[in-house]
Structure 1
């Protein structure tokens, strides 16, 4: 029987296309508003998978516009009641439900502090969409499985579309519009080579740099949620500063490399871990010979969309891994779809 998680993964190309079509005016309006505001700084507001989406957008904004982007802890508003000084700033709040009290509180604080605050939510209207200056429905549709997949992807698609309009970048606009097709291609990729290594594993590392580090972080969370398998995400630079001590023979490592300026360094680090006899896999053509095993990927022609497509075959693999490890990927133990935090 096909799991709900698998069904929702398979919906990703369709919901991405729907978002780009149905929310086109809202995406363009948000980009125009940011261009007119011309913020000196951007802050993000999110938790869980949504925070990984925000982390991806942080790198995207920094790389494309050179603007610093910082993640704010929701407790600043919900626990500490600290006022924010964001008159020259913008805020991006990301949430599946748009209902978490601490996320809503921080979005309100950002607005009160003077920030142009944009909500990317899968539920509109919602408390978050009401609190924000502008709200965009990420239009992933109802997501039943506890582990977020299509809403995570669509949050990033929405953010990249806004960024493309903000920068008025024809190349990025074209790359974003091509994502539904690339997602469909990514769904057909086979990552089952990783499964035999992970079925009996106790722990593993996910590596990346830049936008692919956000993907590695999301991958690690999904591994914990659906497979009860301990996974940690590290920058391929940081893993050599301490965490490498735990890497022994057969220790699993997945290196998420996009076709960008970090690809060579990610594969170089992965190759060093191969020398420790770890079980290392990398999404790169540079992974060959005595280096890490190559995982298939979709080359989209743009480094940002290339990185985003890496999560699609991973989702398919981890859903299968969850079932092989004896779990129900739709209902991870001790987790709920909407987590209420103060």
Structure 2
């Protein structure tokens, strides 16, 4: 898990160059199509990447984006005819999960434009898609997806930047390798002793960092056997905050754009309850944190969010080892999840 995550900067650097012509063509096609909405289709870590696509698309002025539940197409076979000429971004590292394939086929039957974001371009999902966006992560042995997740986020950022003509993001993607190398070096593993004995925690984010928080919570569960749930920094005040008090822990992946509004106030609430706060983000927002995680400075908030998950992976790996678990082979999990 750790060594594969460390490959991410070079893999993403190569991806940007390899996909340049494809992304320009697909971005142009999507602008010409000008759909009323778009949809995503994914599960697991890939669904967190799909959530990132939703936030990035909508905050760049793109169309409203919905999450299309796989079961609608795979079990019920009731995908709406309104999907005709609608982009459906299907995210899957393997491209071999039966439910995603079946759901994509049902959407294609209704005339949806299927865009597969996959690591395996020879997969059945890639074969049925109108457009295939390779993430170029290379072979991944660890059950826990790391480099493939980072590469998927970068591919999504590249696609949406071309679609919405976000020129700052397009420019910054040309130096993605340097940014991710800094994120790799700024790893968060030093916070592991504070979490190794914890049995449950909340992971908080907002906007572009909410899907990152979701991925972090998933990795805590699957790699380290640590129960963690992700919530929006805003949404946590609507009920879940009552579960957090003295001696409890929250991990905050702070956004650096407009979504940071209210973060310092929320941390003040936790601080008054004597909750342990471990946080990344802008210094003024996380001044009350008990442990401040290094935050890589990025000119575009989307790339700052991506950098944070690469900094996080060594933390999950270290906690897994401290809890005497094998992060590469979590119990009861397989690399390709076959659900119907």
Q: Common fold, TM-score beyond 0.5? A: yes
CA drift at 1:105: 1.3
Per the alignment, residue 138 of structure 1 pairs with: 135
Q: 2:24 aligns with which of 24, 28, 31?
A: 28
Per the alignment, residue 227 of structure 2 pairs with: 230
Structure 2 residues not aligned, in runs of 5+: none
- Taking a change above 3 Å as real, the CA distance of residues 83 and 186 of structure 1, as seen in their structure-2 partners, is closer
SS of 1:282's partner is strand
Does residue 78 in structure 1 map to residue 79 in structure 2? no
The separation in 1 between residues aligned to 2:166 and 2:242, in whole angstroms, is 43
CA drift at 1:297: 1.0
Of 191-200 and 295-304, deviating more is: 191-200
TM-score by length of 2: 0.96
Q: 2:59 aligns with which of 55, 63, 68?
A: 63
Of 230-239 and 263-272, deviating more is: 263-272
Q: Deviations over 1:204-229 (max 9, x none)?
A: 10001111000000000000001110
The separation in 2 between residues aligned to 1:234 and 1:290, in whole angstroms, is 19
CA drift at 1:138: 0.7
Structure 1 residues not aligned, in runs of 5+: none
SS of 1:262's partner is helix
Q: 1:243 aligns with which of 204, 216, 240?
A: 240
Q: 2:87 aligns with which of 75, 90, 96?
A: 90
Q: Where in structure 2 are the equivalents of 1:122-133 lying within 5 Å?
A: 122-133=119-130
2:40–2:90 CA contact under 8 A, matched in 1:
yes
- Runs (4+) of structure 1 exceeding 3 A deviation are 287-293
SS of 2:91's partner is strand
The separation in 1 between residues aligned to 2:194 and 2:79, in whole angstroms, is 49
Q: 2:301 aligns with which of 278, 284, 303?
A: 303
Aligned length: 338
Q: Deviations over 1:135-158 (max 9, x none)?
A: 111110001100001111111111
The separation in 2 between residues aligned to 1:270 and 1:296, in whole angstroms, is 17
Does residue 265 in structure 1 map to residue 262 in structure 2? yes
Q: 1:182 aligns with which of 172, 179, 185?
A: 179
- Taking a change above 3 Å as real, the CA distance of residues 273 and 31 of structure 1, as seen in their structure-2 partners, is same
Please, what is the CA RMSD of the aligned residues? 1.4
The separation in 2 between residues aligned to 1:200 and 1:189, in whole angstroms, is 23
